[in-house]
Amino acid sequence: MTPKEIAELKASIEQRMADIESNIKSLEETSKPVEPDRAIGRLTRMDAIQIQQMQEANLATARSNILKLQEGLRKIDEGTFGQCQYCKGMIGFERLKALPESNMCINCAEKYGG
């Protein structure tokens, strides 16, 4: 990868992290437990609990993505960003642009299901 491509990917990762972090604040609010004394009907309460559980799952995914993106920034600093963890070949620039947290080239992703 060229230095320009690496800089573009680094900026993209930093922007994606900022977007996720702002989304995390919203998810933390909506994933709070549903209070049992809220005056809502039984079905509405079940809906509220289901929504709360989905938001908890979204929050966990967002936090996981932040960790993967932080790992990507660390690898950029080390000079190992974009290397496939299986075949050790380079991951394509377009794949990294779409999925900067990717740690597999497209061939290994198809082969190993990633």
2-25 residue pLDDT tens: 899 999 999 999 999 999 999 998
Query: What is the pLDDT at residue 4?
Result: 95
Query: What is the pLDDT at residue 107?
Result: 93
CA torsion through residues 58, 63, 67, 69, sign: positive
State the pTM of this model: 0.76
Rounded to an integer, the average pLDDT of 56-77 is 93
Query: What is the pLDDT at residue 43?
Result: 66
pLDDT at residue 114 above 90? no
- Amino acid present at 91: I
- Residue 42: pLDDT band (50, 70, 90) is low
Distance (Å, whole) CA 103 – CA 72: 9
Rounded to an integer, the average pLDDT of 102-112 is 92
pLDDT at residue 34 above 70? no
Distance (Å, whole) CA 8 – CA 17: 14
Query: What is the pLDDT at residue 75?
Result: 93
Query: What is the pLDDT at residue 113?
Result: 80
